[in-house]
A and B are shown apart, each in its own frame.
Chain A
Amino acid sequence: MPLETIIAGVMIASLVLYALLGGADYGGGVWDLFAFGRRPREQRALIAEAISPVWEANHVWLMLVIVILFTAFPPAFAAIATALHIPITLLLIGIVLRGTAFTFRTYDVQRDEVQRRWSLVFSIASIITPILLGTILGAIASGTIHVENGLMTSGFFRPWLAPFPLAVGFFALALFAFLAAVYLTLETRERELQEDFRQRALVAGVLVGLLALTVFVLAQTGAPTVRAGISRTWWALILHICTGLFATGAFYALWARRFRVARVCAAAQVTLILLGWAFAQYPHIVEPDITIFSAAAPRITLQLLLAALVAGAVLLFPSYYYLFRIFKREAAR
């Protein structure tokens, strides 16, 4: 397998982990805003307890995606950062407000009105940021960012301010909210709280389905090459069938209150959606002008980067496992 493909694979794997872990932290923020019913206070407390020890570590997966992108595929990073300057800037503002508001809420006065103010900033930022993230990925897939001789020629609005990328943005939001609700059913042993998040997961699951359909329909004109890639080959078909099976499985497991099964199915579903997109776009890193081969850094850089990634992973995964074992084991039992 070419080195470029391996490194791109690691980058996609980091993105998948960011979606599964960091994405769910955004989803937590969504449910903070929609904390209502009989137990809003308990719901908020559960969300805060679930994400407090891990959100900063989970956020680093995004940083890893970025450093791999600019080390291994520098011209692609330059093109994306130029063409999508505006949504990326907005994304950053969202990231800053989400993280700081959450931390300030933890350490500020525990009076209700102060807490409510920070909660509002935290949860709104948690909603806007995934939409922007999805929009950015949608724009990259849409094939509207054009590059000639290393210069971006497609304008600063057109690639992302369009129905397809925005639909992908809402799709990302729904997926993150769905993941968070599914995970939260396993973060508590209190039946009623579990039920609250089960209902939320079911609602979000329906929205995920509807938005997936919307994205697929809009891709016809909004991202024709990727759409063709999705529906072209036999393995793509298998990938889709699997995604559908896991989606159904997650839904059924939620219905039957088999929460651990639901968690596995939901995570698999999100993973396969991202992989499906990556395979459909391969070998393009930015449709249609930049491939991972045309943008690749020299071989020596790729080799060293891969060595660093392997060494880093050897250090990282045990630490990550330790973190999750400390904070996630009791609740999951």
Chain B
Amino acid sequence: MDDLLAARSQMAMSLAFHIIFAAIGIAMPLLMIIAEWKWLRSKDGIYLTLAKRWAKGTAILFAVGAVSGTVLSFELGLLWPGFMGYAGSIIGMPFSLEGFAFFTEAIFLGIYLYGWTRVPPRAHLFAGAVVALSGALSGIFVVIANAWMNAPTGFRLVDGKPADIDPIAAMMNPAAFSQTLHMTLAAYAATGFAVAGIHAFMLMRDRANRFHKAALVIALAAGGVSAILQPLSGDLLAKTVAKTQPVKLAAFEGQFQTEQGAPLRIGGIPDEAAGVTRHAIEVPYALSILAYGDPQAVVKGLNEFPADVRPPVAIVHIAFQIMVACGVAMMLVALWAAWRFLRGRRRWLDSKWFLRLLVAAAPLGFIAIETGWTVTEVGRQPWIIYGVMRTSEAVTPMPGLVLPFITFTLLYIFLAVITVWLLLRQVAASPRDPDPIAKEARVAA
């Protein structure tokens, strides 16, 4: 493995690991405060147990997310000093704002986790709301920085160096809005479906358990709404990519030839040597319509671009197909759930098949997040800053990078195993006493 590949692998592995915790860190506090809010309103002890359980889960996941995030901010310099030396002054701004959002999140999470008996109930709920809000904000700031790498604005190139820097314009880059919207919704959808799936699994074994029912409803509501909205934000993002990175869009679709009225390819395997995508189901005109809103629009093919600015097509196309498939499946599950619920049957959760489907859908959101980031990052190659700086120009001169890559991989595998084990034991397991308040009342009586 050469050093550039090792550096890319280490960065990819660190991001792939961190993003799971980051997404849960954005969405979990929302579920947690919905449960607490229901507890305050209904005084039903089940919701208090639930809020405390989810808070425990959030505590474990936040700690892993915080340290793996620290690793990433250093890795920007450890692996890509050329990039940071060049771009730090242009996109340091969103990272600085993220620093404060993260600060707020950490402070109020401390209050939330350890303050159950130390602050009044409303202040406690407020602390949770601040955690949820600042978690979402810190994700948004980081994605803004990534969007700039896809659609760099806010500077002029003079003799290969940035001049006339405008950090605000850099933050307002054309990809910023659609990318942050897509990622934020993804975080809620993925976390909501994963949590709903886990509780659906527990509910299949123990049908009458109110604890798991309450958990499932909250998680599915948050995840389902996001999953239904997500295709819209995906469409918006694809239109942005068509405008700012046409070669990436062509890679999404395995579109080798420039074509008027281009079809949308579902599935298929791109053959880069032959310049065709085989075995795909083609929906006529659909790509031209989706990308440009016009069935006769011309879609640029990969062949328009010199070979040394094309991303690896097969990885990008296949990852894109997996992401879209997961997203569509989640949307359909969410619609079915909404239909079951709206039909007004109180027993909408009692179908075995519905619960089975929720269990099956549990990992889809995170698969979509991982493949989606593969799409955006691999699809930007060979550039680290699209059209401006190549990834190979940014890498550190440090030799032997395979060593830290292996070290961090082993470390993260170890952390993942422990985290999953702790979550299953501490958070998902059926509580011995799901409603402590009712029990207290019984004891008192």
Contact = CB atoms under 8 A, between A and B. Distances in A.
A294 interface: no
Given A52-B114, A54-B110, A326-B115, A95 B85 contact: no
A97 B98 CA distance: 23
Interface string B100-114: 101110111111011
Given A67-B95, A78-B77, A305-B92, A316 B165 contact: no
Of residues B63, B166, B167, B425, which shows the largest number of chain A Cβ atoms within 10 Å of its Cβ? Answer: B63
B92 A67 contact: yes
Nearest to B412: A96
A54 B71 CA distance: 20
A304 B93 contact: yes
A82 B84 contact: no
Interface of A: 52-54, 56-57, 59-60, 62-64, 66-68, 70-75, 77-82, 85, 88-89, 91-93, 95-97, 99-100, 102-104, 106-109, 150-152, 156, 297-298, 300-301, 304-305, 308-309, 312, 315-316, 319-320, 322-323, 326-327
B37 to A, nearest CB: 21
A24 to B, nearest CB: 15
Contact of A66 (B74, B81, B110): B74
Interface string B57-97: 00110111011101101101110011011111110110111
B114 A327 contact: yes
Given A78-B77, A95-B70, A56 B110 contact: yes
Given A67-B92, A81-B81, A89-B78, A327 B118 contact: yes
A56 B63 CA distance: 8
Given A56-B110, A71-B89, A81-B77, 8 more contacts: A57-B107, A64-B103, A66-B73, A72-B89, A77-B84, A78-B81, A96-B70, A301-B93
A82 B81 contact: yes
15 contacts: A54-B110, A59-B70, A60-B99, A63-B102, A71-B96, A74-B89, A89-B407, A92-B71, A96-B411, A104-B422, A107-B60, A150-B85, A298-B89, A300-B167, A320-B107
Interface of B: 56, 59-60, 62-64, 66-68, 70-71, 73-74, 76-78, 81-82, 84-90, 92-93, 95-100, 102-104, 106-111, 113-115, 118-119, 165-168, 396-398, 404, 407-408, 411, 415, 418, 422, 425-426
A224 to B, nearest CB: 27
Contact of B59 (A107, A150, A315): A107
Contact of A92 (B70, B84, B109, B398): B70
Contacts of B59: 103, 106-107
By secondary structure, the A interface counts as: helix
Contacts of B104: 315-316, 319
A319 B107 contact: yes
B120 to A, nearest CB: 11
A93 B411 contact: yes
B99 A67 contact: yes
A319 B133 CA distance: 15
Contacts of A309: 96
A56 B62 contact: yes
B110 A57 contact: yes
Contacts of A297: 88-89, 92, 165
A18 B106 CA distance: 14
B78 A81 contact: yes
B84 to A, nearest CB: 5
Residue picked from B66, B93, B107, most chain A C-beta under 10 Å: B107
B66 A70 contact: no
A54 B107 CA distance: 7
Given A71-B93, A104-B422, A60 B404 contact: no
B400 to A, nearest CB: 9
Contacts of A79: 81
B88 A53 contact: no
Given A93-B407, A100-B64, A53 B96 contact: no
B9 to A, nearest CB: 15
A80 B77 contact: yes
Given A93-B407, A100-B415, A326-B115, A70 B92 contact: yes
- When A and B form their complex, which 8 residue pairs have the shortest distance between CB atoms, in order from nearest? A71-B92, A81-B77, A74-B88, A297-B89, A78-B85, A78-B81, A103-B63, A312-B100
Given A74-B86, A82-B396, A316-B100, A56 B92 contact: no
A151 B425 CA distance: 50
A62 B70 CA distance: 9
Q: Which of B119, B168, B411 gathers most chain A CB within 10 Å?
A: B411
A59 B102 CA distance: 10
Nearest to B130: A319
A80 B88 CA distance: 14
Contact of A72 (B92, B106, B113): B92
Contacts of B108: 319, 323
B423 to A, nearest CB: 9
Contacts of B85: 74-75, 77-78, 150
B111 A322 contact: yes
Contacts of B114: 52-53, 327
Nearest to A49: B114
A279 to B, nearest CB: 25
Contact of A298 (B165, B418, B426): B165
Contacts of A304: 93, 167-168
Contacts of B426: 107
B93 A308 contact: yes
